[in-house]
Amino acid sequence: MRELHAIADRVGELSREIPVSSYSGFLDELNRKVKKIASTTGFHIDIFKSMHASAESNKLMQMIQESTAGSEFLLVQKDENNYKVRIFEDLFPSVLFVLVDEEMVTSENLKQHFKICDEQYKVIFLVDLLSDHEVFTNFSKLFSYRCKTVPLSFLDFKDKSLTDLLQGHFDLKSLDNLKKISYLNSVKPVFNFLTEILLSENKAANTRKILNTQNTSITKKEESTINNSELASNLRQVIQKSTQELEKSYKFKYDDLNKPNTGNFSIVAFEKSNQLTDFNKKALAEKSEKVETTIDQAFLDDLIGTVSKTIKNELGKDEAFIKSSFEDMIRLINIQLKTKGIDLLKADSIYPPFPDKERTVQSFCYINKAYVGEVIKRGAMEYFVALRDYTGLIMVVGGLLAPLSMFASGWDGSLFKSMADWVKRTVAGISILMIVYGIYDLRRRIPLKREEEFQRELLKAKETLLQESKRMFNDASRDWTGNISNWIKDTAQNMNNQIDRNIKELQFKRVSQMNDEKLLQQKQLQSIEMLLKGIQSAERLKDQMTTRYRDMLTETEKDLKL
């Protein structure tokens, strides 16, 4: 599109307004990508098809692909894996096809996505591949009224190319406007990028201006005195504030890592403990009907290894980041020291030995409370133990009928003898029935009971592993943050001592260097002011680009007749 080439040219003009920028390379790349989008041809269309789509959906997808071969239409297939993927420099289509089959209507992620997709898509074709039209109707309600939805069926594609289908619903001008909206949508992120870059550049320039103002104020005060105690006090405050913030950041970091459910350490502990699927079993001498369950040592070693590796990965990032933060602090302090003519801080004489992460990991990564459980031994003993329930029931029945039997046996006469015989036969019959039923029922209950007992013990074992993993993470984090805090305090103290020493050594040179310092600060301020003016010019260019883009988008959407 010709209009997009104009946007790319404006991006180039904007980058020239702020030549001294850390984003220069990014702006050049932004310019290149906008030109690439502008040079792209073809009508891009998104097609959503579930990963496990029905045979009918796959067949229809193949038909659509074959019908677009050699045409201007370029299809981009979307599914559950890539529906969130959006790469700047690719086209963001304004037309969407959704193959609605049984798998599609059950995909919660895609359904949530469809509820908010109206920002990109203007026309959505819903292809009904369901046997239940009511389900299709409910599915179509997911889409916003801000975009036009067109219901289709498999028969609408029969003996028709995609070109014929689209031209059957929209005229050529509307199709051209939909294509144009795709290109305009594709460069929309440019304006967010430019806004963030200019805000960052403006913030950085103002920060430099604030620092320059502070340095100028310090220099004016020093003109009346050669005592640099105020400078030393200011630098101590800077060091104290920076180190406190650094300590807090590390405390917050490990607090976040150890947060229940959401912290990475908690997630690793939960996932690893849930990988347990079986036990080691060992017979118990004092409990012949049960076996002792323990966790395999190889699994425990793997768990400890995973926890240790996860902790090491986090600890390994800390030394470089902390020293980099101190280097930035030293660089900031050295700027102020340099403007005062004071010797610069030397990092090699400031840093004490850094805490040993291996020692921290080895000190806390072990199993403190091992899991030990019991389950009923499989085999005949398992059935004998379970039969106790039925045996007890038989004894209860016999106990209830025993008084009647004794009463009948204690009297003479045929009636009482018959009653005694009846009681005996009844007890015998009930006993036989209970035994037969017990054997039958146990064949069904024992596997269920065995699985329930196994799952119960497995849950206890997982909970033990989870608590042990969390303990390792928490103890290692607590020890490490304490070591880091001590190291930061020692380093800050070394910096303060070196600053005091350098100031005392160079006190007598300060009077002759005042004029040079004023000139340097003035040049720095001029440079910052020029940079701020350049940023303001760049912001005006960006506002003009944004206005022109909105006008083009509004004009195109106004001409779009759906």
DSSP code string of 484-524: HHHHHHHHHHHHHHHHHHHHHHTGGGHHHHHHHHHHHHHHH
Query: Is the distance from CB of 268 to CB of 307 less than 8 angstroms?
Result: yes
Domain boundaries, the chain: 1-214+545-560, 223-544
Distance CA 215, CA 206 (A): 14
Query: Is the distance from CB of 232 to CB of 513 less than 8 angstroms?
Result: no
Token pair 């960006």: residue: 542
Query: Is the distance from CB of 128 to CB of 149 less than 8 angstroms?
Result: no
Q: Give the three-state DSSP class for 173.
A: helix
Distance CA 432, CA 394 (A): 9
Structure-block tokens of residue 59: 């067949």
Q: Which of 81, 142, 84, 138 is nearest to 112 (CA)?
A: 142
Strands 95-100 vs 73-78: parallel, antiparallel or unpaired = unpaired
Please state whether 527 falls in left (phi above 0), alpha (psi between -120 and 50) or beta: alpha
Token pair 């969390």: residue: 470
Identity (one letter) of the amino acid at 533? K
Query: Is the distance from CB of 93 to CB of 181 less than 8 angstroms?
Result: no
Looking at residue 159, the DSSP 8-state letter turns out to be T
Distances (CA, A) of 208 to 212, 271, 338, 342: 6, 47, 16, 20
Q: What is the pTM of this model?
A: 0.44
- 152 backbone dihedrals φ, ψ, rounded to 5°: -135, 165
HSE-CB at 319 with a 13 A cutoff on CA atoms is: 12
Query: Is the distance from CB of 12 to CB of 31 less than 8 angstroms?
Result: yes
Structure-block tokens of residue 90: 């690719």
Instruction: Note down pLDDT in tens along the chain; length 562 residues.
Output: 667 777 777 777 777 777 656 677 777 777 788 778 777 788 899 999 998 889 999 999 999 888 888 888 888 899 888 888 777 777 889 899 999 999 999 988 888 888 887 678 889 999 999 888 888 888 888 887 778 889 999 988 888 888 888 888 888 888 888 888 888 888 888 888 888 888 888 888 888 888 888 888 877 776 666 666 777 888 888 888 888 888 888 888 888 888 888 888 888 888 888 888 877 777 665 565 677 788 888 888 888 888 889 888 888 888 888 888 888 888 888 888 888 778 888 877 888 888 888 888 888 888 888 777 776 666 555 556 655 655 655 566 555 555 555 555 555 555 656 666 666 677 667 767 766 666 666 666 666 777 777 788 888 888 888 888 888 888 888 888 888 889 888 988 988 888 888 888 777 666 676 777 788 888 888 888 888 888 888 888 888 888 888 888 888 888 777 6
Token pair 């301020």: residue: 525
Identity (one letter) of the amino acid at 519? L
DSSP per-residue string spanning 31-88: HHHHHHHHH--SEEEEEE--TT--HHHHHHHHHHHHHTTTSSEEEEEE-TTTTT---B
All residues at 6 or more sequence positions from 287 whose CB lies less than 8 Å from its CB, including other chains: 374
All residues at 6 or more sequence positions from 528 whose CB lies less than 8 Å from its CB, including other chains: 205, 208, 209, 212
